């Protein structure tokens, strides 16, 4: 065993605790799990790291029982005890700094090129300026809400159009800041094009719907139900796109299906997001269909279907994530 590999394996406090427990005698993976508040897959990962470093070995007895025992490396005891001394603490500090230096260089990155942020910011600023320029020519009250049949059922002061026009810029600022304060912010750069596509599509969508009030006043919409078809179609397409890319999202604390079991286990996160992607696509297709049925079905029916889709999909994703967690702990 190389000393460098041993120190790297021991850089994690959980793995050091595992070795301390095993010094008292052989233990099964289940017995070790009782001493930690982590999932079995996570514990298996730590044991595999220690095994690859030559610090533990496992012996299988029968089909299900697996005993991990302390490796007979002669210098291991001195290495573990040395971690408590001054030189050991300095070595561990160096390893910790090395582990932290790499995320620091990537954590500030969202995976979105600077030019994309600049273009989106200019789009949002121009959207606000255009709303302010159009405000003097608007009536005192403008349409603000549309019913399921596409008819206007809510009005507001004309300055609200400018407020809605500023929302895309507000959201864009949040999208820029959140990855930089997320403890798992480095994962955003590994999403591939998902985060970039999400930010671009959401920003363009928000800029577009902020003009629905003015377009209604100017009679530029093709018909009474056009608002529902446009909005439902755009949101539905957005959900379909999200469902397609959702399985690519890495673990983070801001974006994705953040069940407690998915945040605890990378495998649970991956499987939950694969299932969640299918749910998002079903919701997206349903919203597109509902946009065309808005002028046919009663508004209460439309709202009921939307509520069932929203609550049902969220509940299904949480239940699925929990069942994966329970299965992994009972196996």
Strands 65-70 and 141-146: unpaired
In 3D space, the residue among 15, 39, 29 whose CA is nearest the CA of residue 269 turns out to be 39
For 3-105, give the CATH class. Answer: mainly alpha
**Which letter does DSSP use for residue 221 in this model?**
S
Please list, in sequence order, all residues whose beta carbon lies within 8 angstroms of the beta carbon of residue 151, skipping any fewer than 6 positions away: 224
Residue-wise pLDDT tens digits, 56-68: 777 665 544 444 4
- Look at 149 and 20; give whichever has higher pLDDT: 20
Q: Where are the beta strands (DSSP E) in 35-99?
A: 56-61, 65-70
Question: Taking a C-beta distance cutoff of 8 angstroms, is the pair 95, 8 a contact?
Answer: yes
Angle at alpha carbon of residue 163, lines to 159 and 166, rounded to 5°: 140
- CA-to-CA distance for 32 and 51, rounded, in angstroms? 15
- CA-to-CA distance for 232 and 294, rounded, in angstroms? 10
Query: Percent of the chain scored above 70 by pLDDT?
Result: 79
- CA-to-CA distance for 208 and 204, rounded, in angstroms? 6
Residue-wise pLDDT tens digits, 116-164: 999 999 999 999 999 999 999 999 999 988 876 677 888 999 999 999 9
- Give the per-residue pLDDT at 248: 86
Task: Decide if pLDDT at 32 tops 90.
Answer: no
This prediction's pTM: 0.60
- Give the per-residue pLDDT at 64: 44
CATH 1.10.10.10 residue ranges in the chain? Answer: 3-105
Please list, in sequence order, all residues whose beta carbon lies within 8 angstroms of the beta carbon of residue 60, skipping any fewer than 6 positions away: 66, 67
- Give the per-residue pLDDT at 69: 46
Please list, in sequence order, all residues whose beta carbon lies within 8 angstroms of the beta carbon of residue 286, skipping any fewer than 6 positions away: 236, 305, 309
- Look at 82 and 11; give whichever has higher pLDDT: 11
Element (H, E) at 222: none
* Token output for 246: 């959702």
Q: What is the mean pLDDT of residues 270-293?
A: 94
- Give the per-residue pLDDT at 70: 42
Token pair 């260089």 in the structure block, residue: 105
Distances in Å between the Cα of 68 and the Cα atoms of 25, 42, 278, 306, 328 are 9, 16, 40, 52, 19
CA dihedral of residues 193, 195, 200, 202 (deg, nearest 10): 140
Query: Percent of the chain scored above 90 by pLDDT?
Result: 40
* Paired strand residues for 28: 67
Q: Where are the beta strands (DSSP E) in 104-181?
A: 141-146, 152-157
């Amino acid at each position: 065993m190389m000393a460098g590999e041993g120190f790297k394996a021991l850089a994690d406090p959980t793995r050091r605790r595992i070795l301390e427990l095993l010094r008292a005698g052989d233990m099964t993976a289940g017995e070790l799990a009782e001493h930690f508040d982590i999932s079995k897959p996570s514990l298996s990962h730590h044991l595999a790291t220690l095994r690859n470093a030559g610090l533990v070995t496992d012996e299988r007895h029968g089909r299900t029982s697996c005993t991990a025992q302390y490796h007979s490396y002669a210098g291991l005891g001195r290495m573990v005890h040395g971690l408590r001394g001054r030189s050991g603490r300095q070595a561990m500090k160096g390893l910790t700094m090395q582990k932290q230096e790499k995320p620091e260089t990537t954590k500030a990155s969202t995976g979105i090129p600077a030019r994309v942020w600049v273009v989106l910011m200019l789009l949002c600023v121009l959207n606000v300026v255009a709303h302010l320029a159009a405000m003097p020519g608007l009536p005192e009250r403008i349409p603000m809400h549309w019913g399921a049949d596409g008819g206007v059922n809510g009005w507001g002061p004309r300055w609200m159009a400018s407020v809605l026009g500023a929302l895309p810029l507000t959201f864009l600022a949040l999208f820029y800041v959140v990855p930089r304060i997320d403890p798992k912010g480095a994962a955003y750069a590994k999403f591939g094009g998902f985060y970039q596509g999400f930010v671009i599509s959401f920003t363009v969508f928000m800029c577009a719907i902020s003009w629905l009030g003015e377009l209604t006043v100017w009679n530029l919409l093709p018909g009474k139900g056009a608002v529902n078809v446009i909005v439902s179609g755009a949101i539905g397409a957005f959900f379909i796109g999200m469902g397609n890319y959702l399985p690519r999202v890495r673990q983070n604390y801001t974006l994705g299906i953040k069940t407690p079991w998915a945040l605890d286990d990378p495998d649970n996160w991956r499987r939950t997001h694969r299932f969640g992607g299918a749910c998002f696509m079903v919701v997206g297709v349903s919203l597109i269909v509902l946009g065309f049925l808005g002028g046919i079905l009663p508004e209460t029916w439309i709202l009921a279907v939307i509520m069932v889709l929203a609550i049902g999909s969220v509940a299904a994703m949480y239940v699925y994530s929990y069942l994966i967690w329970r299965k992994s702990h009972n196996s």
